[in-house]
Structure 1
Amino acid sequence: MTYACQIVHQLPRPVLAVRTRTPVDNLPVVLDAAYKAIEEHLAALGEEPAGPPFVGYFNMDMADLDLQIGFPVARPLPGSGDVQPDILPECHLATCLHTGPYPEMAAAYQALTGFLEQANRTPSGVVYETYLNNPVDTPAEQLSTRIDFILK
């Protein structure tokens, strides 16, 4: 698969998110619980997400992933329990779109890494994946995931 990588400027974005740690094997359970908690909190506030869900990866230690799981919101909102407000910072991102099963995203990560080497840019080490459609009702080969490397 060929990836169209580019560098874009991101403005600050308010989010509601759960910050947690987990081994990769437990990731689906942790994601489901966090998204459910955020959706329930949004419903209690009478609000809706302002975009698709995301996961921020603050490390790539598969035994102890440091994660931010959330949804963008239209304006800053109060948190409750594990669901807390945050602002994703203004920054530059290297980004590309992966279409296909989640386990095949390594190729997109490799494409972004090569793109940054050629552009002589340095990633910060923080990566966000934004899930543009729902795996519950989308065939695996049609899943769309935007991958963003925050740049130094």
Structure 2
Amino acid sequence: MGKISEIMLLKQPEQPALAVEVQTDMNGMSEAIGKNFVKIDSLFKEQGEVTTDIPYVEYPDFESLTEHNIKMIIGLKSSKKLQGEGDIRSITIPERKIVSCLHRGTYSELAVLYNEMMEWIKANGYKLSGTSIEYYYSNPNVPKEEQVTRIEMPLL
């Protein structure tokens, strides 16, 4: 199916979050994401908090990712600064401009939307920061072709 919203330029406010940095490969991605979402959510519950958005995975320097070398920052946003624990860090996502779009379909189809978003950024005179963030709206039991993902690309 592909893109299900227009590509939008948004101003994102400063936002506290809890996050874990992970290095893995394609085969370990699903497990790393699932395991760390659960771990971070448990820390939220211990502190009596709930997330302010759906879980996200940030891919710093996403254009350099390879099948065997994937760096991810897995996180949940909060309404206030929370305490980190172990490898879970308390972070503040800075206020920034982002380009955002929704996609329905398999993850393998996301490359087409990434390319379209990068072209939009160039055509509108913006510069990409090199980071992409994906928000996964669907649980793993949803058929692959029905999965919904929001992509955000912070700008410089």
2:135 to 118, 130, 138: 130
- TM superposition shift of 1:74: 1.5
Gaps of 5+ in 2: none
Correspondence list, 1:102-117, <5 A: 102-117=107-122
1:74 to 55, 67, 79: 79
Q: d(CA) in 1 for partners of 2:71 and 2:51? A: 23
- TM superposition shift of 1:92: 0.5
**CA contact 1:17–1:86 (8 Å) conserved in 2:** yes
**CA contact 1:59–1:65 (8 Å) conserved in 2:** no
- TM superposition shift of 1:96: 0.8
Correspondence list, 1:1-150, <5 A: 1-2=2-3, 4-60=6-62, 61-62=65-66, 63-136=68-141, 138-150=142-154
- TM superposition shift of 1:100: 1.4
SS at the partner of 2:84?
coil
- TM superposition shift of 1:72: 0.9
SS at the partner of 1:40?
helix
Q: d(CA) in 1 for partners of 2:73 and 2:131? A: 10
Q: Could you tell me which amino acid in structure 2 is paired with residue 145 of structure 1?
A: T
What's the TM-score once normalised by structure 1's chain length? Answer: 0.91
SS at the partner of 2:130?
strand
Q: d(CA) in 1 for partners of 2:51 and 2:36? A: 14
Q: Could you tell me which amino acid in structure 1 is paired with residue 33 of structure 2?
A: L
RMSD: 1.5
Runs of 4+ in 1 over 6 A off after TM superposition: none
Q: d(CA) in 1 for partners of 2:30 and 2:48? A: 27
- Map Cα deviations across residues 72-119 of structure 1 (whole Å, 9 max, x no partner): 112111011111111111111111111112221111101101111211
SS at the partner of 2:27?
helix
Q: d(CA) in 1 for partners of 2:117 and 2:92? A: 24
Q: d(CA) in 1 for partners of 2:56 and 2:143? A: 19
> Matched residue pairs, number?
151
Q: Could you tell me which amino acid in structure 1 is paired with residue 79 of structure 2?
A: A
- TM superposition shift of 1:142: 2.4
Q: d(CA) in 1 for partners of 2:115 and 2:22? A: 26
